[in-house]
Amino acid sequence: MVIRILKNLTSKPTTTSATAAATFQLRCKTTSAEYVASRARDITFEKLMENYKNLFRVTEIQDLILASRSNPPSVSVDFLNRLSQRLHLNRGAIAFLRRYPHIFHIFYHPSKSQPYCALTETAMEISRLEAQSTSSSLALAVERLVRILSMSLTKTVPLRAIFKIWKELGLPDDFESSVLSSNSHIFTLDHGNEPNTHVLKLVTEIPKETLIASVENWRIKECCKEDSGGLDRTEILYSFKHSYPPGMRLKRNFKAKVKQWQGLPYIGPYEEWGCREEEEEEKKKTSKRQMIEKEKRAVGIVHEFLSLTVEKMVEVEKISHFRKWFGIDLNIRDLFLDHPGIFYLSTKGYRHTVFLREAYERGCLIEPNSVYEARRKLLHLVAMGRRGISVHKTPRQEEVENQQWLE
**Which are the contacts of 189, defined by CB distance < 8 A and separation ≥ 6?**
159, 180, 198, 199, 200, 201
Into how many domains does the chain fold?
Answer: 3
Taking only the tens place, the pLDDT of each residue in 279-290 is 545 555 567 778
Q: How far apart, in whole angstroms, are the C-alpha atoms of residue 270 and residue 252?
A: 34
Give the range of the structural domain holding residue 167, as residue numbers without chain letter.
138-207
Q: Is residue 213 part of a domain?
A: no
Q: Is residue 21 part of a domain?
A: no
Residues 195 and 232 in one domain: no
Residues 273 and 168 in one domain: no
Q: Is residue 271 part of a domain?
A: yes
Taking only the tens place, the pLDDT of each residue in 77-100 is 999 999 999 999 989 999 999 999
Assign residue 151 the CATH number of its domain: 3.30.420
Q: How far apart, in whole angstroms, are the C-alpha atoms of residue 27 and residue 95?
A: 33
Q: Is residue 391 part of a domain?
A: yes
Please choose, from the candidates 67, 72, 71, the residue with its C-alpha nearest in 3D space to the C-alpha of residue 80. Answer: 67
How far is C-alpha 275 from the geometric centre of its chain's CA atoms?
Answer: 28
Q: Is residue 255 part of a domain?
A: yes
Q: Is residue 323 part of a domain?
A: yes
Mean pLDDT, contiguous 10-residue spans, the chain (407 residues): 54 42 40 82 94 95 94 93 92 94 93 91 97 95 97 95 96 93 94 84 92 93 71 80 91 92 93 60 63 93 98 96 94 94 92 96 96 97 87 51 49
Q: DSSP label at 106?
A: E
Q: Is residue 13 part of a domain?
A: no
Q: Is residue 264 part of a domain?
A: yes
